[in-house]
Structure 1
Amino acid sequence: MPYDVAAVRAHFPALREGAAHFDGPGGSQTPDVVAEAVARTLTSAVANRGAVTPAERRADRIVHDARSAMGDLLGVVPEGVVFGRSATELTFMVARTLAQGWGPGDEVVVTRLDHDANVRPWVIAAEHAGAAVTLADFEPLTGELPGVDIAHVVSERTRLVAVTGASNLIGTRPDLCGLAEIAHAVGAQLYVDGVHSTAHVFTDVEASGADFWVCSPYKFLGPHLGVLGARPETLEALRPEKLKPATDTVPERFELGTLPYELLAGTTAAVDFLAGLAPSDSGASRRERLASSYAALEEHEDELLAWLEPRIRALPGVRVYSNARRRTPTLLFTSDRLPPQAIRAALAEVGVNAPAGNFYAWETSHHLGLGAEGGVRVGLAPYTDQSDVERLVAGLTDVLG
């Protein structure tokens, strides 16, 4: 059965405002079931987690449900799911914690393909520990991150390799399995920023070889918070800073303060919504339904991208920087006729939301020669339809053609 984008769009109240949204990489629109789950939790009796009162039990159930949902989404056990305020905050926490065991002579590898949230936390942690940092390049013309380049910069002193699951700026999807083999061969761990990838690609943390995988539900139809997935035994080896009376149990030892129950309820609803994007067998598990849904979603987004991309590339004076063989449905481009922010503003005038900038992919943008200005970024989402991409092309044709 084909992907029913009309049925999907019916769940997004924000679309009734009339804009065509290509700003999903910065944060997706929210389906009604997610908003209802958040509101229902806020208007129900909740308390600190416990087993005595109904309010305590409700809070405890919400947390367990969210861990189970994110475990299904990422392919990890619920005991390996950590919640935090954002992916950036979680990465800073893991970096500080891991750096407790680093010292002079140790090395960390980061890449120019990454969002700064998977670069700066490691640079800062390494500096505090006296460890060295190597910044691995990607090929600017193709957008590829060759594994051989990573292999040349790791050594027996490398403690960690940090890499993106997919570039939030140009969409490149590196070979994570290959990079994991390179990192593990020298005894290093692999930390993957899956914030952009998780919204578009079926995730299997174990199969990817990642030791840590961080993501943000608000990129895949959920509320604003961060999630870290790892093996429980990997988390057991870490001793994060925490309050003295706080539990030492994994994964709770990494969660500072009371969790935002309403956001966790919304996260569970978002995962369930994703699991229902495509028909599946009635007896299928949520993990199996997610696999089917992501397969349908990728096919839908690929079809739209196949129609859209050549038309953008054909516009006079336009240069597209998203050229990797494997990538998400994300296009970054510039024009020799107008600066990125002027294009953004002109599109907004006709109800097309396509933001411009470097989107915190600081190293990526500079390595492409775009500096802090960056380019115009077009991102597809589960609710994007053919009329949206036609409106985008029409708007760009009027502005640049």
Structure 2
Amino acid sequence: MMTSTAPAGPTGFDVAALRAHFPSLASGIAHFDGPGGTQTPRPVADAVTATMTAPISNRGTGALSETNADAAVGAFRLAYADLLGVPAAGIVYGRSATQLTFDFSRILAQDWGPGDEVVVTRLDHDANVRPWVLAAERAGAEVRWIDLDPATAEFDPASVADAVTDRTRLVAVTGASNLLGTRPDVRTIADAAHAVGAQVFVDGVHHAAHQFVDVPALGADFYVCSPYKFLGPHCGVLAADPGLLETLRPDKLIPATDVVPERFELGTLPYEMLDGATAAVDFLADIAPGDDPANTSRRERLRASLHAVDAHETRLRHRIEEGLADLGADVVVHSRAADRTPTLLLTLPGRKTRDAYRFLLDHDVLAPAGSFYAYEPFRRLDLDDEHALRLGLAPYNDDSDVTRVLHGLAAFLAQV
């Protein structure tokens, strides 16, 4: 898919060849809004269109329209099994990661009660906080918090040590912060949770967009992600061990199947979205698939491609950080964790970041301002109502994008 006569870049793939697959980039906008949702490559859009215009109906084994629908579901599960490192029977489709988290919070809380504890963090997007807080409150369980240290943008070690007790039933933790980019040590937290018999629910929405994922190695019992954060359509995916899913009893219609994972998917699935999400995985796998892609599994091609993407994005992130440092005290960078994604949260002392956002828009640079549903970390950083500016990279960003955003910020700050 990425074949080009141009030489590969220093981080393993030809960015110009990659960008050619994204019709939206012809707008001339330099997109730094990847954490909110990426642009869509042509093969993903084509897959959606092909499914919607082909014979399609409810799943079955008779008519072509029935087998097309069944094939879309099977291909989707296999693709996300390869992306996340779990069996295909452990892949659940959802409208969004938020919807899936709310659904599973209600299911898992069915046997919680007074005396039980649920652990959430001050680093997470609210989609991995509020569902658990609400479920705990309704069950009479106590909520405990892992705190965020604003000085480091990492978890407070003492808080981590104190959070998990022998009464903990579940720990909800992010794989990577959509606000600050921080990638916490999920495995250590998961090991502590499992030692007391608790389950671990990982929000991988920002994590899966920037790192090769191995759900079992991460220690996650449940892992959610959103394909539209990594070049796919707007939907959500949950990954878990099929044996664990077999133990859960969601509410469902009487005629609806009780087979895992279908028992968690309510109503007729949107087959066009499934095929688009599958195409996104295939596109990722072809970015930099290694030396012998024809004889390499899709999971191994994903590993090679995502390592190349990570190297590319990290290099660009370093360029941005160096440029921001040159702007001096006019810019405060809150993304400080030792291990982090290519996502930077900025405030501009004495200036409104929404003004900077609008100024950059006038220069065809999209760097959004807001709190980005990261309610707890935003409060913990004591930013009050001063919405911050977020610069988030995606695989299609290039050096010219970085130059434009740095020049744009410098011009904004130079205004009297």
Selected match of 2:259 from 236, 249, 255: 249
Cα deviation digits, residues 338-362 of structure 1 (max 9, x gap):
2111110110000000001100000
Retained in 2: the 8 A contact 1:49–1:56?
A: yes
Deviation of 1:310 after TM superposition, in Å, equals 1.7
Structure 2 residue 172 is matched with structure 1 residue 159: no
Q: How does 1:2-401 map to 2 (within 5 A)?
A: 2-146=12-156, 148-280=158-290, 281=292, 282-316=294-328, 317-401=330-414
Question: TM-score when scaled to structure 2?
Answer: 0.95
Deviation of 1:374 after TM superposition, in Å, equals 3.0
Cα deviation digits, residues 4-60 of structure 1 (max 9, x gap):
100100000000000000001000000000000001111111111111111000000
Name stretches of at least 5 consecutive residues in structure 1 with no aligned partner: none
Equivalents in 2 of 1:343, 1:87: separation in Å?
30
User: Partner amino acid for 1:49?
Assistant: R
Query: What is the number of equivalent residue pairs in this alignment?
Result: 401
Deviation of 1:372 after TM superposition, in Å, equals 4.3
SS at match of 2:166: coil
Cα deviation digits, residues 146-185 of structure 1 (max 9, x gap):
4552221211110000000000000000011111111111
Retained in 1: the 8 A contact 2:129–2:172?
A: yes
Cα deviation digits, residues 355-376 of structure 1 (max 9, x gap):
0110000000010011244310
Retained in 1: the 8 A contact 2:171–2:199?
A: yes
Cα deviation digits, residues 298-328 of structure 1 (max 9, x gap):
1111111111112113314110000000000
Question: TM-score when scaled to structure 1?
Answer: 0.99
Cα deviation digits, residues 218-251 of structure 1 (max 9, x gap):
0000000110000001111111111111111100
Q: How has the CA–CA distance of structure 1 residues 158 and 279 changed in structure 2, closer, same or farther, with 3 Å as cutoff?
A: closer
Retained in 1: the 8 A contact 2:331–2:349?
A: yes
SS at match of 1:28: coil
Retained in 2: the 8 A contact 1:358–1:374?
A: yes
User: Partner amino acid for 2:128?
Assistant: N
Equivalents in 2 of 1:265, 1:237: separation in Å?
29
Equivalents in 1 of 2:156, 2:111: separation in Å?
29
User: Partner amino acid for 1:41?
Assistant: T
How big is the alpha-carbon RMSD for the aligned residues of Structure 1 and Structure 2? 0.9
Name stretches of at least 5 consecutive residues in structure 2 with no aligned partner: 1-7
Retained in 1: the 8 A contact 2:224–2:237?
A: yes
Corresponding position of 2:4: none
Equivalents in 2 of 1:185, 1:138: separation in Å?
23
Retained in 1: the 8 A contact 2:354–2:387?
A: no
Retained in 1: the 8 A contact 2:231–2:280?
A: yes
Stretches of 4+ moved more than 6 A in 1?
A: none
SS at match of 1:198: coil
